[in-house]
A and B are shown apart, each in its own frame.
Chain A
Amino acid sequence: MSDVITTDVVIIGAGPCGLFTVFELGLLDIKCHVLDILDRPGGQCAELYPEKPIYDIPALPLVTGADLTSRLMEQAAPFKPQFHFNQMVTSLEKCGDTDFVLMTDGDLVFNCKVVVIAAGGGSFMPKKPPIPGIDAYEGKSVFYSVKKMEAFRGKDVLIVGGGDSALDWVNNLQPITNSMTLLHRRDEFRAAPDSVNKMRELVAAGKMKLAIGQVTGLGGADGMLSSATVKGTDGNSFDVACNTMLPFFGLTMKLGPVADWGLNLTENLIAVDTEKFETNVSGIFAVGDINTYPGKLKLILSGFHEAALMAQQAFRYINPGERLLFQYTTSSTNLQKKLGVA
C-alpha cells in the first residue's frame, strides 16, 4: 500500500461540478485532490457528449462538452489541483473527530478534513453484455478493460465491439497474442479511420481474423473460456475458439460504492441541505447531479452554485475560528493574487 496523501479536501469526481469546486475552494485558499474513474476530466461532458453543444451555461451562448471541460480546467489551474485519474474511490470512512480516510481501487489512500462528492450520475463502468453464464468467466477469462498488456501474451483473444476501445486494443494486443479475432455486428466501424485501416491491414496479412456477428453463448469450464458462439448476419451460428474475451460496449453509469458510505440517500441520490449542500455526515458535501433537495435541477449551473456555497462551510471546518471575508474577484487584490493576475 502506498503512503497516505494528506490534504484539505478530496473531491470525488472530475465532472464539471467537481472542477468548479476546485475553483471555489481555491479562492478560499483550500487545496484539493480530485479523483475520477475515467482517464480524463469532464465527467458526462467528456464521456457522453464531447462534441455536442450546450446552450445554457451563463454567458457562454454555445459551448461543447469538450470545450467547457477545458475552460473549467483552465479556470482551476491557478490553484494547482492534484488529479488522480483511473482511480475509483471504493471506501470513505471517518477517522477520529475531524478527519476522513478514503481508499481507491488503485490502492491510493487519502486523509482529509472535508470530502466533496461530485460523483454525478455515478461511476462510469463498462457495460456487461447479458450473455447467459458470462458471470462465471468475468475476471478469469472475460475482462472489460486491459490493466496490464502482459496478461494477454500468448492468449487466443476475442475482442468484441466496433468503437475506439475495441480497435485500439486489437491493434495494441495483436503482436503479443497467440491469435486475435475481432467480432463486430457489422462490417463498419465507428472507431478512428486510422485504427480501422490498421486492423484491416492485419486481417489482409493473415495476422488476425475479423468476424461479423453477435455473441450468443460462451463455452468453457471453471471460468476458463474455450469458445464463443456467434450468430452471423445470415442467422447461422458458428464458434470462435478463444481463451480470453474482451467485450467493449461502452460505459454506463452506476451509483457504485457511493451507496455504501452511510449517507442518507433518496432514490439513489445523496440528500443535502440547501444552505451548505452538506450530507447527513458533517464534513461530507455533495454537489452536482449526485445530490438532491427540494427543487433540484440536474443542470451544470446548479452544480456551480452549490460549489460556491459549500466552499464557505468547508472553509469553516478547515480554518476553525477564522473569519471569512466576502470578496469580489473583480476588486480584491487578495483574490487576484491567488488567481495569478494581480
Chain B
Amino acid sequence: MAKITFIQHNGNEITADGIAGMTVMETAVKNQVPGIDADCGGACACATCHVYVEPDWVAKTGKRNPMEEDMLDFAFDVRDNSRLSCQIKVSDALDGLRVKVPEKQF
C-alpha cells in the first residue's frame, strides 16, 4: 500500500491509498479525484490523465515511455515533470508520492 496525494489546482489535497500494481490514474479515479478524466481508461490514448509530479518524486516515478511522450503532445502546458498518470504504476517505493492535477485536462 502506498499513500498518494493529489494536489488540486486550488491547493486542496486528496490523499488516497494506492494499491501496488494499479496505476496512479486508477487510484485517482477510484477515489473520485476531480480533474483526472481518463477518457481512454488507461490505454495511453487520450492524455486526459495528465499530472505534474512534485520535484522530489520525479526520480522515483521514472522517465516517460516513448508512447507517453507522443501522447503528451495532446496535453496542455506540458512541463519537465509532466506525466500521464495511467503510465505510473503504484509500488511501495512510491509511498508518499505527491502529484499536482492541472486546472483542466482540456
Q: Which A positions have Cβ atoms within 8 angstroms of B?
A: 48-49, 52, 121, 127-130, 161-163, 184-186, 190, 214, 216, 249-250, 252-253
Contact = CB atoms under 8 A, between A and B. Distances in A.
A162 B72 CA distance: 10
A130 B75 CA distance: 10
A252 B39 CA distance: 7
Interface in B16-50: 37, 39-40, 43, 45-48
B72 to A, nearest CB: 8
Contact of A250 (B47, B77, B78): B47
Contacts of B92: none
B97 to A, nearest CB: 25
Contacts of A252: 37, 39, 46, 48, 106
A127 B74 contact: yes
A163 B46 contact: no
Contacts, number: 50
Contact of B73 (A48, A162, A253): A162
A286 to B, nearest CB: 20
Contacts of A190: 70, 73
B43 A48 contact: yes
Interface size of B as a range? 10 to 19
Nearest to A191: B73
A86 B85 CA distance: 32
Contact of B74 (A128, A186, A249, A253): A249
Contact of B76 (A163, A184, A249): A249
B93 to A, nearest CB: 29
B103 A130 contact: yes
A94 B49 CA distance: 39
A322 B22 CA distance: 53
B63 interface: no
Contacts of B43: 48-49, 52
Contact of B77 (A52, A161, A214): A214
Interface in B35-71: 37, 39-40, 43, 45-48, 70
Contacts of B39: 48, 121, 252-253
Given A130-B76, A190-B70, 19 more contacts: A48-B39, A52-B43, A52-B45, A129-B76, A129-B106, A130-B103, A163-B73, A163-B74, A184-B73, A185-B78, A214-B76, A214-B77, A214-B78, A216-B77, A249-B74, A249-B75, A250-B47, A252-B37, A252-B106
A253 B75 CA distance: 15
A130 B46 contact: no
Contacts of B45: 48-49, 52
8 contacts: A49-B40, A49-B43, A49-B45, A130-B104, A161-B73, A214-B77, A249-B106, A252-B37
